Structure 1
Amino acid sequence: MRILFLGDVMGRAGRAAVTARLPGLRANWALDFVVVNGENATSGAGLSPEHAKALLAAGADCLTLGDHAFDQKDMLSFIETEPRILRPLNYAKTAPGRGARVFAATGGRKVMVAQALGQVFMKRPFDDPFSAVDAVLRAHPLGGAVQATLIDMHCEATSEKMGMGHWCDGRASLVVGTHTHVPTADAQVLPGGTAFQSDAGMCGDYNSVIGMEKLEPMRRFVTGMGKDRFTPAAGEATLCGTLVETDDRSGLATAVHMIRLGGRLAPSGP
């Protein structure tokens, strides 16, 4: 299978890039399944039902969230009615929605997608992501009930993301990091056959501070004081993500590619 994962969609610019480019990418790259992290798609904080519908209509098969999962309060009820949206597995025991699900891909094949939140440097303590992911992997063995498995590891520390990659090696098709909005240059297939990238980057305007207009973040860094709210940068967005190719029998990765299209970053792709 050919599975595309797109990193954190950041504000209006990120949404515009995804909705404009994804339909063509599905056709031109013969994609079998697409996952998009949408947790910053609405004003840089959370995902509204309206914007979720737009990303799904553009060709996403699944939307993952993150620590801002319910910043848009309508998502608390909408996620219960839209099974294609996943919140983190270890968010809270009483949180609505689900953190993992098996989806249908082309040709009747099955793809399991799960997301977990890291614990290192995060603003609030979350349950252990490693045990949460382990339980899901054991319940959906790769190459058996599912032909591919994708894990979105949403956290600050690259070490924690890499730890999750090795924890899942041989048991998942792709482990990819999100949350830090900067694409890393370490896309690789691990020894056990799992594709990994520490961070897929964001789909947003890179003439910014991780997707936000520069002035207010810079003011806070320089003075230690805030004056205004953060506002998503509105320039031309770069589409960033990870493309993995898998073997249907084993479910393991045969190739992985970093994706950068449009905007300010040097292009890369398959």
Structure 2
Amino acid sequence: MKVLFIGDVVGNPGRKVLKEILAPLKKELSVNFCVANGENAAGGSGITYVVAQEMFNAGVDAITMGNHTWSKKDITSFIDNEPRIVRPANYPPHLPGRGSTIISGQGGSLGIVNIIGRVFMDNTDCPFRAVEKEIEYLKSFTRAIIVDFHAEATSEKSAMAWYLDGRVSCVIGTHTHVQTSDERILPCGTGFISDVGMTGPYDGILGVERNLVIEKFLSGMPVRFEVAKGCVQFNAVEIDIDERNGKTIRINRIRKILDS
């Protein structure tokens, strides 16, 4: 089973990249399933129904979220009825949406879990305990399970990967928008990368218009951020999973810089 996981899609530039290169890339790599983090997909913060459908139409099979899950109010009107979107499983249980899902196709079935970190982030329930519950449920249906750990601290993401080694196929870090070069397969077969990076503006600061970020650092005053323009980047990770045992066979970083 071959899975393509795309880093945080930021605004219209990120969605435009998906529409332009995703279909041919999936064909080139013989991808069975494509998952993308979409928590920044609508105007740089959150997601809307229209934006989600745009991503699905571009070839994304499932969307994970993060700390900007609720930034666009209309998500509460559709997330319960859209099983292809998962929000952090360690959010309070009464909130709309789900923390895990299963997508199926010719390549078999893939379980997807979304959790959010607590180090340098807002307080949430324990991600380690939350992921246990989701994995136990998914294991009844498939051995191929990936975890999107949306977190700030590399140490917390690394701890999660080692904690889950041999129990999930891959732990993929998201949130920082900077791709790391530490992809590896742990001893018991779990793939890991601290952060897959972002898909969107290349010449901004983490996808934001750079002059606005600089102004905020210089003045200390609130600044309304805008998605940057110019060249774009595509960051993803390609994962080969042995669907018989759920172990990762190969993990490969993908990074492309494209004209706007």
Contact 2:204 2:229 in 1 (8 A): no
Q: Aligned-pair distance for 1:222?
A: 2.1
Residue among 124, 127, 146 paired with 1:126: 124
RMSD: 1.3
Partner of 1:106: 106
TM-score of the two chains, using structure 1 as the length reference: 0.93
CA–CA distance in structure 2, aligned partners of residues 195 and 105 of structure 1: 22
CA–CA distance in structure 2, aligned partners of residues 213 and 99 of structure 1: 32
Contact 2:168 2:190 in 1 (8 A): yes
1:245 aligned counterpart, secondary structure: strand
Partner of 1:257: 252
Partner of 1:233: 228
After superposition, residues 206-225 of structure 1 pair within 5 angstroms as: 206-225=202-221
After superposition, residues 183-194 of structure 1 pair within 5 angstroms as: 183-194=179-190
After superposition, residues 4-43 of structure 1 pair within 5 angstroms as: 4-43=4-43
CA–CA distance in structure 2, aligned partners of residues 106 and 61 of structure 1: 13
1:177 aligned counterpart, secondary structure: strand
Q: Aligned-pair distance for 1:169?
A: 0.7
After superposition, residues 143-154 of structure 1 pair within 5 angstroms as: 145-154=141-150
Structure 2 portions without partners, runs of 5+: none
* More displaced stretch, 76-85 vs 31-40: 76-85
1:134 alignment partner AA: E
Q: Which structure dedicates a bigger proportion of its chain to strand?
A: 2
Structure 2 residue 242 is matched with structure 1 residue 247: yes
Structure 1 portions without partners, runs of 5+: 265-270
After superposition, residues 16-165 of structure 1 pair within 5 angstroms as: 16-107=16-107, 109-122=108-121, 124-141=122-139, 145-165=141-161
Among the aligned pairs, what percent are the same residue? 39
CA shift digits 1:169-196 (9 cap, x unpaired): 1011110011110000101111111110
CA–CA distance in structure 1, aligned partners of residues 161 and 138 of structure 2: 17
Runs (4 or more) in structure 1 with deviation over 3 Å come to none
CA–CA distance in structure 1, aligned partners of residues 32 and 164 of structure 2: 22
Q: Size of the alignment, in residue pairs? A: 259
CA shift digits 1:37-67 (9 cap, x unpaired): 0000111110111110010011111001111
